[in-house]
Structure 1
Amino acid sequence: MIAPVDLVPGQLLGRYELLIAIAQGGMGTVWAARERGGAAGDKIVAVKTMLPALSSDPRCKRMFLTESRIAARIKHPNVCAILDQGEQSGVLYFVMEWIDGDALVALQGGSTRKQGRPLPLPVAVRIAIEAARGLHAAHELRDEDGALVGLVHRDVSPHNILITRDGTVKIADFGVAKAVAQADNPTTNTGHMKGKILFMAPEQVYSEQLDRRSDIFALGIVLYQLTTGTHPFAASHDLATMARIARPEPVDPPSSLAPGYPPALEAAVMRALAKDPAERFATMAELADALEAVNATLGGRPEEVTGYIRDALAARTSRRAVVIKDALRAADGRSRGRPSSRLDPRRRARTIATAAALVASGALLGAATLLWIGLGEGPAAQQIVEVPAAPPLTEEPRPRSAAAEPRAPEPPPAPAPSTSPATPPSSAPAAAASPGPPRPPRAPAETGRARFREPGF
């Protein structure tokens, strides 16, 4: 399951209503949510919550709150904005702008380890340039006295490089970022490696001191893979991958995999991937400038790059929009005090097919649960149990009197379910219905007579 057991769709964290869990990282779960009562009206945001197992750790709690406050100060068009943070009932969370797009990994076919087709060079270089600009803004963040904070992302990877439908790159998830200059804990605890192994720098493998050049190495890996279709260090298992990263020998040049690789681009990639930090670019701005010079020779027009990204992400973003729309519909039903109406069979089939496609493509972690709830009730189906409706009544609602006694006794409202997962509405046991011969299917107008129970939270 993606969602922590204590959080369900419809729950409020501050003024943010959780809609559906969309991803889980090393520190928490990301939810699509909507802000209620904001100045601009209800709007969709992304809410990241700390995993319950970490919330009880004072060190993790302090890191989470510190990092979200630091990240909220980064103001740059290539950084996903942090809008708010808070704590409620032991749940730590921060709120990010909602990105109408997808992660870079989607353009790679959903995998960062397997060999794939390289992206067109103008597209790959433009993505790397914008990612470098956003990371440089984070690295240059200063405190009130004008001193560098020392922020390092530590987890630069295709999963944390988001791309909007218009082609804008956004660096997201400073979930393992660390202000290395903070007085109370100047370094990450020795022996605790933070970040995805495939995108670690050698000094990160050795748990040594990190700085902005560690992020440059990680972005170099991303660019190498985008332009060759091959990861420079990936091996059959993590230890072998770490050994390849830690070796002092330089990586194989991209031209050995892609004949005709531009020499200037190869020089930039190889410098970013230097095993010795002193031999890399000193700043992300230097890397971005070098790539701008390369980009000028590639001849790709901005509108062509944008068009490629828009077309590549169109199907995925459209499917996600359907999921969010259904989640909003379910939320509206909850706000009116009743669950959302069932989908008609044709739309239900289309929704199930959509969820299946999302699972197959990896666009939405945990979308497998949508297959059994069918999005007929939207995310609310995770906490709603449908009780079979009583037989249609032709007279006025009967009072509890002797005149009604000859009828077969109707079961009382369903008691609270056990702690086992709720049975999908489509498979509610027949024993729960009143005894008697099977009734014909109800007309659509009768659907609203079914009774539901929503557990409190």
Structure 2
Amino acid sequence: MPPQRLRRGQRLGRYELLAQVGEGGMASVWLARSHGLRGFEKLVALKMIKAQLADDALFERWFLDEAKIAQRIFHTNVATTLDLGEEHGSLFLVMEWIDGDSLGRVRRSYHRASGKPLPLPIALRLVADMCKGLHAAHELSDERGEGLHIVHRDVSPNNVMITSSGAVKLIDFGIATARDRSSPETTLGIVRGKINYLAPEQIHRRSALDRRCDVWAAGVCLYELAVGTLPFTGKDSEEVMQKIASEGAPPPFDSDPDVDEILCRSLAHHPEDRFATALEMQRAIEALLDAGGGVTERDVAIFLAREVPGLAEERRAFIDDALSPPVPSPASTGPALGAEVVTGDDPDRTRPDRPARSGPTRPTRPTRAPRGVLAVVLLLALGAVAGVVMFTRGPTASPSSEVHAEGPLTTTGAQPPVASGAASTAAPANQSVATATATPSKKSAPNVGTKKAAGRAPSPSAKAVSSSAPKEIDFGF
């Protein structure tokens, strides 16, 4: 089956899509709800490969590699991968839903509000926790205890989440390298990753990449948070890469010599001059934090709530809107209790694919014909009854009996024979009655519970609408 366009309310196995969160070059991310046994529900993040890439074997292998790498990492500073699924030929990853925003969004929001970079203690705390998550990934080994040599390769503020409680979560191992990766790390001539955060060896590609290129990216993040600008900039990506590939050092951070020392060491051009591990960089930052009195996750949470409260409000509104049932369109709105029969061919009111169901109905008033027509019908019916009675009595000497047996008499002043009058007008009268009966008044409709006459098929234009028919909403309840 070809890949289908994702939509709100769609079910992928036991996961229900609620709202799209974002979209990248390879996949889209959705807020989803997991449905379990006995009404158990949980919010998750669902990352699904794009429909146009579902048939690309290389992208599929990259996606599977990301799943295999991420699901092995269990650390408080790395987002947890919960499941891997496939629907309509497209793969999807299920991850924990993080109640927070990216570090990049937090930095930009605070800068717009204050015109300043993040407070230095907060920036140091965030990068130190980022280094914890990186070190956990770098140290991961297989079941035999052999290192997997994972390198994230895409560390940036947009791939670091900050929860409302102040915790740091590293995400997106889409282009990470590992020992047992099945797909090629990089196509020849293509540099993968965000240009401003690339280490020199990622641009040169003179040797295999190791964890120290992630240390470089963590240094770029710290520089951006503390200084307020990137260490290497240019008018285009080529100029930026030229500056990174050269052996020039970034502008110094004069506000704090100890922080500048950490920046210079993490951004050293040659990998051997940098921190050997992310853990080593984290310990250097922690030493500065301890000397300044220490900063905890709780301090980060208080900072977020006080300085950028709008982010949490927007996030809550987004989730509330995603969880609320959508307003059904008129075409899918079910009838109220005691609904009457709906007639006609209006597609917004009739549903030929839905059988009629029994249920309580509201009685309808019978169709009223004009009074004049009723009077004529009544007189003709009385005349017909009288004629039948006269026929059944047999021949008599009355003038009217001679009319039926022998033909009309030419008597002066005689009234027209009743039987002849009934015979000549019965057909028009019956036709009038049938028309009045078969064509209901616009003000009323036949009752759902009315019994049909034997041997007559129901009108094809009439559909019974059950009061118990469920409303059609996207969630499929």
After TM superposition, the score normalised by the length of structure 1 is: 0.70
Going from structure 1 to structure 2, the CA distance change for 1:40 and 1:68 (only over 3 Å counts) comes to farther
1:156 corresponds to: 155
Say whether residues 1:119 and 2:114 are aligned partners.
Answer: no
Alignment partners' CA distance in 1, 2:132 and 2:39: 29
1:22 corresponds to: 21
TM-superposition CA deviations, 1:220-269 (whole Å, max 9, x none): 100001001111112222222222211111111122xxxxx221211111
Alignment partners' CA distance in 1, 2:17 and 2:125: 34
How do residues 418-457 of structure 1 correspond to structure 2 at under 5 angstroms? none
Task: Please identify, of 147-156 and 115-124, the stretch whose mean Cα deviation from structure 2 is larger.
Answer: 115-124
Alignment partners' CA distance in 2, 1:229 and 1:296: 23
2:253 corresponds to: 254
Q: Over the residues paired in the alignment, what is the CA RMSD in angstroms?
A: 3.3
Structure 1: which amino acid aligns with 2:180?
Answer: Q
1:263 corresponds to: 257
Going from structure 1 to structure 2, the CA distance change for 1:314 and 1:66 (only over 3 Å counts) comes to same
2:285 corresponds to: 291
**2:347 equivalent among 412, 416, 420:** 412
Q: CA deviation at 1:24?
A: 1.4
SS at match of 1:143: coil
2:202 corresponds to: 204
TM-superposition CA deviations, 1:89-143 (whole Å, max 9, x none): 111111111111111012211699xx96211111000000000000100011101
Structure 1: which amino acid aligns with 2:263?
Answer: V
Check conservation: 2:17, 2:30, Cα contact below 8 A.
yes
Check conservation: 1:166, 1:310, Cα contact below 8 A.
no
TM-superposition CA deviations, 1:48-76 (whole Å, max 9, x none): 11122322121221221122122111011
Check conservation: 2:34, 2:43, Cα contact below 8 A.
yes
2:317 corresponds to: 322
Alignment partners' CA distance in 2, 1:167 and 1:65: 31
Q: CA deviation at 1:184?
A: 4.5
1:397 corresponds to: 340
Structure 2: which amino acid aligns with 1:279?
Answer: D
Check conservation: 2:35, 2:42, Cα contact below 8 A.
yes
Say whether residues 1:188 and 2:182 are aligned partners.
Answer: no
How do residues 223-238 of structure 1 correspond to structure 2 at under 5 angstroms? 223-238=222-237
Alignment partners' CA distance in 1, 2:162 and 2:226: 17
Structure 1: which amino acid aligns with 2:145?
Answer: G
Runs of 5+ in structure 2 lacking a partner? 352-468
TM-superposition CA deviations, 1:140-161 (whole Å, max 9, x none): 1101111111111111111111
Structure with greater Cα Rg: 2
2:303 corresponds to: 308
Check conservation: 2:69, 2:173, Cα contact below 8 A.
no
SS at match of 1:175: coil
Task: Please identify, of 271-280 and 233-242, the stretch whose mean Cα deviation from structure 2 is larger.
Answer: 233-242
2:448 corresponds to: none
Alignment partners' CA distance in 1, 2:252 and 2:172: 30
Alignment partners' CA distance in 2, 1:88 and 1:396: 39
Alignment partners' CA distance in 2, 1:455 and 1:76: 34
Alignment partners' CA distance in 2, 1:143 and 1:399: 66
SS at match of 1:289: helix
SS at match of 1:23: strand
Alignment partners' CA distance in 1, 2:259 and 2:135: 20
Alignment partners' CA distance in 2, 1:455 and 1:41: 16
Runs of 5+ in structure 1 lacking a partner? 256-260, 331-339, 341-376, 378-383, 401-408, 417-448
1:31 corresponds to: 30
Say whether residues 1:273 and 2:267 are aligned partners.
Answer: yes
Going from structure 1 to structure 2, the CA distance change for 1:265 and 1:399 (only over 3 Å counts) comes to closer
SS at match of 1:290: helix
Alignment partners' CA distance in 2, 1:393 and 1:60: 50
TM-superposition CA deviations, 1:280-320 (whole Å, max 9, x none): 11100000011111112233543434311333343212221
Alignment partners' CA distance in 2, 1:76 and 1:411: 58
Check conservation: 1:151, 1:178, Cα contact below 8 A.
yes
Going from structure 1 to structure 2, the CA distance change for 1:186 and 1:59 (only over 3 Å counts) comes to closer
Structure 2: which amino acid aligns with 1:412?
Answer: P
Structure 1: which amino acid aligns with 2:259?
Answer: L
Going from structure 1 to structure 2, the CA distance change for 1:89 and 1:262 (only over 3 Å counts) comes to same
Alignment partners' CA distance in 2, 1:92 and 1:393: 41
Alignment partners' CA distance in 2, 1:415 and 1:247: 72
Structure 1: which amino acid aligns with 2:321?
Answer: D
SS at match of 1:95: strand
Alignment partners' CA distance in 1, 2:10 and 2:43: 15
Check conservation: 1:156, 1:219, Cα contact below 8 A.
yes
Going from structure 1 to structure 2, the CA distance change for 1:39 and 1:389 (only over 3 Å counts) comes to closer
Alignment partners' CA distance in 1, 2:210 and 2:332: 61
2:460 corresponds to: none
Alignment partners' CA distance in 1, 2:333 and 2:98: 41
Aligned-residue sequence identity (percent) comes to 40
Alignment partners' CA distance in 1, 2:180 and 2:45: 27
Going from structure 1 to structure 2, the CA distance change for 1:142 and 1:201 (only over 3 Å counts) comes to same
Alignment partners' CA distance in 1, 2:257 and 2:38: 51
Alignment partners' CA distance in 1, 2:291 and 2:151: 31
SS at match of 2:161: strand
1:82 corresponds to: 81
